[in-house]
């Protein structure tokens, strides 16, 4: 893992978070994100919040949230403040969408994925496998006004953010260094509210990170590609931008990212020995060395040592 830059401490206290989607139990990859964000919060004597991102109901599995809570506790990854569920905060997201409507920067879109694919194909644009299609702007009106009712759910439209031309976002990832993304070219006008009336991850994560006053985001590198979009949304909504640190991904034997979609198996946390074993694997992945490996080591002792190891790793760079 590359060296870290030492982040400057936030003015009003560190607030980090872990934000799993309850689409299954924690697997080796999600434990790395949980552990990395927890260690970073503890190293900074900050708060670590738990937020269940359960807006995409077709993908959520009933009971997975409770299982994730149990697994985290079994690993000694305790949270501060009450956990929150995005499904309980629909009003917040609606307000944010209405604000963007007042700013006249959203518009309705009726394109299906196939429609978008057809337009791109006709223009000779190829989308690489595993990459999202760049929206070609088919439904974008010449002049965007305000719409009376942004939540025209019965009308089955998606709401997209209208990007002004030339939006290139630059940011410094605390692990990966300087990042640049041209949103127009690489993303296009992105969806904030889906045709099936679900607020998207992009909108909800930005609203909640601001609402919960998150100062530091530590998460898997699979989310790196979303960061520029989220920073742009923070800008237009008038929110502060937190600092970002993206952790290396855990890959399977085929070099693919471990995910619930590829049926990554759940971590074992039935007893303390198993939980410690999973934590050790996650720590190896984070590049933490010289951690206690004795049989008598308790999870609490191990986590303390891991926090110090994480601190050494960051401060030595």
Q: Which stretch binds ligand GLU (CB under 6 A): 13-21, 150-158, 245-253, 277-285?
A: 13-21
For residue 131, give both structure tokens: 């990459």
CA distance 67 to 122: 46
Give the nearer residue to Zn ion in terms of CB position, either 138 or 297.
138
Among 31, 75, 77, 111, which residue sits at the site for Zn ion (rule: CB under 5 A)? Answer: 111
CA distance 210 to 67: 27
The answer to whether residues 159 and 107 touch, using CB atoms and an 8 Å cutoff, is yes
Examine residue 161 and tell whether it contacts Zn ion (CB under 5 A): no
Binding positions for Zn ion, 133-152, rule CB under 5 A: 138-139
The answer to whether residues 88 and 208 touch, using CB atoms and an 8 Å cutoff, is no
| Binding partner selected for residue 109 from Zn ion, ligand GLU, none, CB under the kind-specific 5 to 8 Å limit | Zn ion
| Binding partner selected for residue 21 from Zn ion, ligand GLU, none, CB under the kind-specific 5 to 8 Å limit | ligand GLU
Closest CB 150 distance from Zn ion, rounded Å:
16
Examine residue 106 and tell whether it contacts Zn ion (CB under 5 A): no
Among 16, 20, 76, 242, which residue sits at the site for ligand GLU (rule: CB under 6 A)? Answer: 20
Give the nearer residue to ligand GLU in terms of CB position, either 150 or 191.
191
Among 21, 181, 202, 241, which residue sits at the site for ligand GLU (rule: CB under 6 A)? Answer: 21
Examine residue 243 and tell whether it contacts ligand GLU (CB under 6 A): no
Closest CB 119 distance from Zn ion, rounded Å:
9
Of how many residues is the chain composed? 317
Degrees (nearest 5) of the Cα angle 122, 109, 224? 80
| Binding partner selected for residue 139 from Zn ion, ligand GLU, none, CB under the kind-specific 5 to 8 Å limit | Zn ion
The answer to whether residues 47 and 13 touch, using CB atoms and an 8 Å cutoff, is yes
Examine residue 219 and tell whether it contacts ligand GLU (CB under 6 A): yes
Examine residue 120 and tell whether it contacts Zn ion (CB under 5 A): no
The full DSSP string for 56-78 is -GGG--TTHHHHHHHHHHHTT--
Q: In 3D, which of 19, 13, 1, 51 has the Cα closest to residue 226? A: 19
Q: Are strands 47-52 and 15-18 parallel, antiparallel or unpaired?
A: parallel
Q: In 3D, which of 164, 118, 117 has the Cα closest to residue 140? A: 164
What residues make contact with Zn ion under the rule CB under 5 A? 109, 111, 138-139
What residues make contact with ligand GLU under the rule CB under 6 A? 19-21, 53, 205, 219, 223
């Amino acid at each position: 893992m590359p060296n870290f830059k030492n982040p400057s401490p936030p003015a009003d206290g560190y607030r980090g978070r872990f934000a799993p989607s309850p689409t299954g139990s924690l697997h080796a990859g999600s434990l790395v994100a949980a552990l990395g964000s927890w260690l970073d919060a503890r190293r900074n004597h900050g708060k670590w919040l738990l937020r269940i991102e359960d807006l995409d109901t077709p993908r959520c599995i009933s009971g997975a949230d409770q299982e994730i809570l149990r697994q985290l506790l079994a690993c000694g990854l305790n949270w501060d403040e009450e956990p929150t569920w995005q499904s309980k905060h629909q009003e917040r997201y609606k307000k944010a969408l209405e604000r963007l409507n007042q700013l006249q920067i959203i518009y309705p879109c009726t394109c299906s994925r196939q429609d978008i694919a057809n337009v791109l194909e006709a223009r000779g644009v190829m989308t690489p496998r595993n990459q999202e299609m760049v929206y070609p702007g088919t439904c974008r009106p010449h002049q965007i006004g305000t719409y009376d009712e942004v939540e025209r759910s019965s009308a089955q439209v998606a709401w997209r953010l209208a990007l002004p031309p030339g939006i290139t976002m630059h940011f410094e990832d605390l692990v990966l260094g300087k990042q640049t993304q041209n949103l127009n070219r690489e993303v296009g006008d992105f969806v904030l509210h889906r045709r099936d009336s679900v607020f998207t991850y992009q909108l909800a994560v930005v609203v909640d990170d601001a609402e919960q006053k998150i100062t530091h985001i530590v998460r898997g590198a699979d989310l790196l590609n979303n960061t520029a979009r989220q920073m742009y949304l923070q800008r237009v909504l008038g929110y502060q931008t937190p600092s970002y640190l993206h952790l290396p991904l855990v890959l399977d034997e085929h070099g693919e990212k471990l995910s619930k979609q590829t049926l990554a198996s759940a971590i074992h946390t039935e007893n303390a020995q198993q939980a410690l074993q999973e934590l050790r694997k996650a720590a190896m992945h984070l590049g933490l060395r010289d951690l206690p490996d004795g049989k008598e080591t308790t999870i609490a002792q191990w986590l303390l040592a891991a926090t110090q190891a994480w601190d050494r790793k960051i401060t030595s760079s």
